[in-house]
């Protein structure tokens, strides 16, 4: 509590910034993993192919774009998907991207 980093208000959500955040595959993976977990996840709880400091940068970009909310529980920095607020400003975008991330090309289908 207390040490909450700044977050944009939904009125400040910007599609350009959201897409710049989500064009990075590591950041998209963070969002997809958060969505799949269905609950808030500590920074250390993600499976990411980057160093801890690089991951921290990616979390910051996602937070500043409004995609995640970060807060502390003790010394753990927790991450929450801002799903309701994102769905309100950009209806269907998060779902479509998460689904697209799981999409399998035609030829790989039966």
19 binds its own copies (CB under 8 A): yes
Spatial distance between the Cα atoms of 88 and 95, rounded to a whole number of angstroms? 12
Task: Pick the closer one to its own copies by CB: 15 or 73.
Answer: 15
List residues bridging with 22 in a β-sheet.
none
Neighbours of 23 (CB within 10 A): 9
Q: Which residue in 54, 73, 80, 99 binds its own copies (CB under 8 A)?
A: 99
Task: Pick the closer one to its own copies by CB: 34 or 86.
Answer: 86
For tokens 């939904």, name the residue.
10
Task: Pick the closer one to its own copies by CB: 26 or 42.
Answer: 26
Q: What share of the chain is helix, strand, coil (3-state, %, to 5)?
A: 55, 15, 35
Q: Which residues bind its own copies (CB under 8 A)?
A: 9-13, 15-16, 18-20, 22-23, 25, 28, 88-93, 95-97, 99-101, 103, 105-108
């Amino acid at each position: 509590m207390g040490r909450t980093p700044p977050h944009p208000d939904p009125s400040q959500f910007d599609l350009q910034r959201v897409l710049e955040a989500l064009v990075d595959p590591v950041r998209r993976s963070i969002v997809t993993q958060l969505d799949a977990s269905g609950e808030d996840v500590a920074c250390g709880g993600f499976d990411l192919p980057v160093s801890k400091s690089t991951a921290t940068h990616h979390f910051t970009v996602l937070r500043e774009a409004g995609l995640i909310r970060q807060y502390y529980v003790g010394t753990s920095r927790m991450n929450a998907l801002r799903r309701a607020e994102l769905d309100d400003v950009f209806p269907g975008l998060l779902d479509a991207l998460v689904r697209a991330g799981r999409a399998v090309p035609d030829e790989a289908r039966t």
